[in-house]
Structure 1
Amino acid sequence: MSMETDMEPAEAESFLKSLLNKNLRIYTTDGRIFIGNFKCTDTHNNIVLSLTYEYREPPQQKLAEAKAASSTSGADKVALDMTSRYLGLVVVPGEHIVKMEVEEFSSQAKSRSIFERRDLYSAR
Structure 2
Amino acid sequence: MTSFESSSLLSSSMSPSSTDQSTSPSITALKSLLTTTLRITTTDNRVFIGTFMGTDQLLNIILVNTEEYILGNETSRFVGQVMLPWRLVLHVEAFNQQSTPNGKAKDDKSLYI
Interval containing the TM-score (normalised by the shorter chain) = 0.5 to 0.7
Of Structure 1 and Structure 2, the greater helix share is in: 1
Pick from 80, 85, 104 the counterpart of residue 77 of structure 2.
Answer: 85
Once the two structures are aligned, what percentage of the paired residues are identical? 37
Q: Structure 1 unaligned segments of length 5 or more: list them.
A: 59-80, 113-124
Kindly tell me the number of residue pairs found equivalent between the two proteins: 87
Change (3 A) 1:50 1:29: same
Pick from 34, 40, 48 the counterpart of residue 20 of structure 1.
Answer: 34
Q: How large is the Cα RMSD of the aligned pairs?
A: 2.4
Of Structure 1 and Structure 2, the greater strand share is in: 2
Instruction: Tell whether the 8 Å contact from 2:47 to 2:71 is kept in structure 1 after alignment.
Output: no
Pick from 88, 101, 104 the counterpart of residue 96 of structure 2.
Answer: 104
Q: Structure 2 unaligned segments of length 5 or more: list them.
A: 1-9, 15-19, 106-113
What is the CA deviation profile of residues 55-110 of structure 1, one whole-angstrom value per residue up to 9, with x for unaligned ones?
A: 1134xxxxxxxxxxxxxxxxxxxxxx6220001111011110001000123128x5
Change (3 A) 1:104 1:32: same
1:5 Cα deviation (Å)? 2.8
